[in-house]
Amino acid sequence: MIEIERFGDGVTCIKTASPLEGQAIMWVYAYQVGEVVFDAGCWNAVEELRAYSKKHRVKRVYVTHNHEDHYGGSAAFLPEAKVFAGPVTLASMCNPYPLPEFFQFVWGLPEPVLEGQKLTTPSIEVDDFSFEVVDLSGHCEEMVGFWEPNRRWFFSADAVPLPSRKQMAMPEENIPKMIRRMQEIQEREIEVLFDGHRGPILKPHDHIETRIQFLSDLKNQVQQLVAEGKTIQEIKALLAFPEPWYLPNTEGRFAVDHLIRSLSED
């Protein structure tokens, strides 16, 4: 399913999701500025995205990272648009990694896209805007964001965790690096944070600070426990984070263990 929302003058939010009893399970946001789209939505909305792309004359798509909810809809924009991404993301687009059934249901298993092109420019020009391409690796091995300094807009993909208290992680997440990336984002004094799942957030300073603070405190706590000789499993038992119902369905892709291990290894 797809929903389109205008944001101010210049940005269109393209929300895609899989429906469950008529409601979106979880939205992922792509954003259009002029002829450019940042991120590509999910595979399960590929037909709606195809119709959108044709109607709104999308010419360039910039994919932030290789998670299926962000690159999955890339095929919808071809051949009218060019699709750009970093080398790790392009490799996943050519050869999508296998997904547990749960994620195939939530986002869809993308078909391979071989036509992607390497993103090599340090900035992206569209109409009167100039977006700096910003390294946001940390959430995964390779992720980019887009910063427009005149409007003070930051397109952050998954750099800022959705929950205020992030209590699980994926194996590829480097949480200490995520904290540093958020601290770098804060230095920009952003007017609007265009989040990959929450949508546009006005004056996001406090929103980001809450997440930096929670993860920084957790890092100190975990490293203290490691210094006392505690194992990952012992730390997990001590923290006693509640585990959501769907955690077993992720087949290990989301786990509290990944979060603790990453915090302990900094």
- Name the site residues for Zn ion (rule: CB under 5 A): 67, 158
Q: Which CB atom, from 96 or from 129, has the smaller least distance to Zn ion?
A: 96
* Closest CB 38 distance from Zn ion, rounded Å: 14
**Which one, of 211, 159, 163, lies nearest residue 181 by Cα?**
159
Query: Which residue, 142 or 158, has its beta carbon nearer to Zn ion?
Result: 158
Instruction: Tokens 């949480």: give the residue.
Output: 175
- Shortest distance, CB of residue 233 to Zn ion, whole angstroms? 26
Q: Whose Cβ is closer to Zn ion: residue 142's or residue 148's?
A: 142
Phi-psi region of 43 (alpha: psi -120 to 50; beta: other; left: phi over 0): alpha
Residue 70 or 151 having the CB closest to Zn ion? 70
Residue 154 to residues 136, 138, 207, 239, Cα–Cα distance (Å): 12, 17, 14, 33
Q: How far is the CB of 113 from Zn ion (least distance, A)?
A: 18
**How many Cβ atoms are within 10 Å of 264's Cβ, its own excluded?**
19
The least CB distance from residue 67 to Zn ion, in Å, is 3
CB of 28 to Zn ion, least distance (A): 9
Of 48 and 158, the one with the shorter C-beta distance to Zn ion is 158
Asked if 170 and 219 touch (Cβ cutoff 8 Å), the reply is: no
Report the residue number whose CB is nearest to Zn ion: 67
Task: Name the 3-class secondary structure at 26.
Answer: coil
